[in-house]
Amino acid sequence: MDEGKAFLPDVSALDVYGDYMLIRDKRDVLYLFTRDGQCISKSKDKFGHGPGEYSIITAYTFNPYSNCIEIVTPKDLLFFDTDFKLKKKVPVPTKFSKNRNGIVFYGKMFDLDSHTHLLIPTSVSAEPHRICVFDSEREEILKTISYDEDVLADITMQSSCFYPYKNDSLLFYPPCVTNYVYTFNKETLSLDKTYFVDFGADGLKSSDISQYANNEARLKKYLLKCDKAMPAKVFYVNNRLVFLIKNGNSIRKWHTIVYDMNTSSMSKISNFDGNEMRFPIIYSCWGNSMFAAVEAGRISSLLNPFGDNVETSGLDNGCDENDFVIIEYEM
């Protein structure tokens, strides 16, 4: 890696936090970039089993209140500065067991302040459909909020679940398939159903999967192969709800729906035209922009449904066509 640059052969996840981007590769190495594509640091030297190192990431985020990169492991919450120097480590209330009924790992995280964090268990955990409000200074869970009754299925590509919303609240879409978008009140630490999302006549309904209620393996097989429309990802950006809709077992059949909450209008964007990508899978959003990671060789085929040009970050300077570049769509 050249100073200030990194050409990425793969991107597993991309998250944007104001002026920073965190990119995760398939080896669980994290890269911290500026929004204009300059690489600040990476966690490669922190990957291991020694003091101040990690070998498994279950969740991570960038905390804007403390300017820390936070990594959740099966045992601890690690706090790193922007150079990946360990600042502190606190235990998280995970549980280990030989069966699912006793396992608790955390797969999503969002920060309310420097020491108050929203943790969501992984889908294989006991009671996965809940938000745990965790205080890392007191090292305890302050409150647990359940949304279990609204869950249709545990199949999703949802990465970020919380988005700044009205009156200092958060809009929340959980890491599962549900018809509801919620509002999270940061003062009362409560969850309210705000929007009901109808997936249409061909959309997934509870009656489609009731026969698989006691057979998780068959349920997952059905969900992966069925032609029922269901959201794989949901974002909130610039007063719009953006849905990546899974429709069939081929990603070339998927499409993106943009719902304008101001005008109640809706537009459909095809992600592929045959085998050619026209609009990429969105990874993250911040402010008025959505972000994707695409191989440099695919750039020429992309369309911008929201403007005239497709803007890329500085990551594409001198990179190979198989290297990934970051694309920003401003809405």
**pLDDT over 60 at 2, yes or no:** no
Looking at residues 208-222, what average pLDDT do you find?
88
pLDDT of residue 309: 61
**pLDDT over 50 at 1, yes or no:** no
What is the Cβ-side half-sphere exposure of residue 201, based on CA atoms within 13 angstroms?
A: 0
Looking at residues 75-87, what average pLDDT do you find?
97
216, containing H or E segment: helix 216-225
- Average the pLDDT over each of 170-174, 216-220, 280-284 and give the range with the smallest value: 216-220
**Angstrom distance (rounded) from CA 257 to CA 267:** 6
DSSP state of 88: E
Looking at residues 296-319, what average pLDDT do you find?
70
List the 311-312 sheet strands across, edge first.
Answer: 284-286, 289-295, 324-330, 311-312
Q: Please state the domain extents for the chain.
A: 43-146
Report yes or no: 309 and 286 within 8 Å, Cβ to Cβ: no
pLDDT of residue 314: 45
Q: Which residue has the tokens 């199949």?
A: 155
- In CATH, what is the architecture of 43-146? 6 Propeller (2.120)
Looking at residues 161-165, what average pLDDT do you find?
96
**pLDDT over 80 at 5, yes or no:** no
Neighbours of 25 (CB within 10 A): 18
**Angstrom distance (rounded) from CA 106 to CA 64:** 20
DSSP state of 16: E
Looking at residues 234-253, what average pLDDT do you find?
93
pLDDT of residue 262: 92
Report yes or no: 37 and 8 within 8 Å, Cβ to Cβ: no
Residue 191: pLDDT band with limits 50, 70, 90:
very high
pLDDT of residue 312: 58
Mean pLDDT of the chain, nearest integer: 90
